[in-house]
């Protein structure tokens, strides 16, 4: 039986944020996650985060195990998406496998992107699936699921993103580097990251990342 984090939460979103904060202790090169239980008193409990030691993909054994206490039921799962130069355009979306699992088990999915620190929630009973198109430069298109943002964990955002943003800005505006280095990095992140996407990305997508 997977151990339970000994904290009781009053709502599901808070439980997910708490669990995903703990999941930051997992190796960041692997996805990591677990499940959220609801007890008969409508309080929420979370399993300790586990990893399958895969960069992309996570086995959640609780879906096939018994619940820890009588009357409990699994109402949601949670997991992280890693952030690397290879997947950062897709890290903010639920994968097809994520959406399929939540639809099959009638559970809510929570996902923390280590690229932007946002916690996204996908509820199959409320949110559209495969609602955003991703265009490849080859002309191929795929559809991924956005869900909606339900929280933010500041410590989660990958430091590498700031390095990419700085490098992109420096390549195009060398004269700004002194000002950029002295200013608050977070204020420069959004504009320089967009510039990086516009010139160097191998894929792009329509609409918002949320």
Alpha helices in the chain (DSSP H): 12-23, 96-105, 159-172, 177-182, 185-200
pLDDT digits (tens, 9 = 90+) for 123-143: 999 998 887 787 766 777 888
**Residue 180, SS3 per DSSP:** helix
Residue 137's Cβ-side half-sphere holds a number of Cα atoms within 13 Å equal to 7
Examine the domain organization and report whether 106 and 63 are in the same domain: yes
Examine the domain organization and report whether 11 and 83 are in the same domain: yes
What gap in Å lies between CA 201 and CA 26, rounded to an integer? 28
Query: Is 210 inside any structural domain?
Result: no
pLDDT digits (tens, 9 = 90+) for 81-129: 999 887 877 889 999 999 999 999 999 999 999 999 999 999 999 998 8
For residue 208, the model assigns a pLDDT of: 41
Examine the domain organization and report whether 142 and 51 are in the same domain: yes
pLDDT digits (tens, 9 = 90+) for 152-194: 998 776 655 455 444 555 565 555 434 333 333 222 222 222 3
Examine the domain organization and report whether 93 and 192 are in the same domain: no
pLDDT digits (tens, 9 = 90+) for 65-80: 889 999 999 999 999 9
Say which residue the tokens 């990305």 belong to. Answer: 201
Asked if 85 contacts 164 with a C-beta cutoff of 8 angstroms, the reply is yes
pLDDT digits (tens, 9 = 90+) for 2-22: 667 778 999 999 999 999 999
**Tokens matching residue 17:** 């944020």
Last residue of a domain, one of 141, 156, 171: 156
**Residue 60, SS3 per DSSP:** coil
Per the prediction, the chain carries an average pLDDT of 77
Query: Is 77 inside any structural domain?
Result: yes
Asked if 144 contacts 167 with a C-beta cutoff of 8 angstroms, the reply is no
Examine the domain organization and report whether 165 and 98 are in the same domain: no
Asked if 10 contacts 44 with a C-beta cutoff of 8 angstroms, the reply is yes
Which residue range(s) make up the domain with 99? 4-156
**Residue 34, SS3 per DSSP:** strand
Percent of the chain past pLDDT 90, that is, above it, reads 53
Closest residue by Cα to residue 194 from 173, 157, 149, 164: 164
Domain count, the chain: 2
* Radius of gyration over every alpha carbon of the chain, rounded to an integer in angstroms: 19
Query: Is 80 inside any structural domain?
Result: yes
Domain of 18: which CATH number? 3.40.140
Model-level pTM greater than 0.85? no
Examine the domain organization and report whether 75 and 10 are in the same domain: yes
């Amino acid at each position: 039986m997977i151990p339970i984090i000994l904290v009781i939460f009053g709502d599901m979103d808070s439980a997910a944020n708490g669990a995903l904060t703990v999941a930051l202790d997992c190796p960041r090169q692997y996805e990591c996650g677990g499940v959220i239980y609801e007890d008969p008193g409508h309080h929420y409990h979370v399993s300790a985060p586990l990893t399958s030691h895969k960069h992309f993909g996570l086995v959640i054994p609780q879906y096939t195990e018994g619940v820890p206490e009588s009357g409990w039921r699994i109402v949601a799962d949670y997991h992280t998406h890693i952030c690397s130069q290879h997947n950062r355009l897709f890290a903010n979306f639920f994968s097809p496998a994520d959406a399929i699992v939540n639809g099959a088990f009638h559970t809510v999915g929570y996902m923390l992107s280590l690229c932007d620190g946002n916690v996204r929630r996908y509820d199959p009973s409320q949110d559209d699936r495969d609602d955003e198109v991703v265009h490849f430069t080859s002309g191929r298109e795929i559809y991924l699921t956005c869900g909606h943002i339900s929280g933010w964990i500041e410590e989660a955002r990958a430091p590498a993103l700031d390095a990419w943003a700085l490098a992109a800005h420096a390549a195009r505006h060398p004269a700004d580097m002194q000002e950029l280095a002295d200013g608050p990095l977070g204020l420069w992140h959004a504009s320089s990251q967009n510039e990086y996407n516009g010139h160097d990305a191998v894929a792009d997508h329509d609409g918002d990342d949320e």
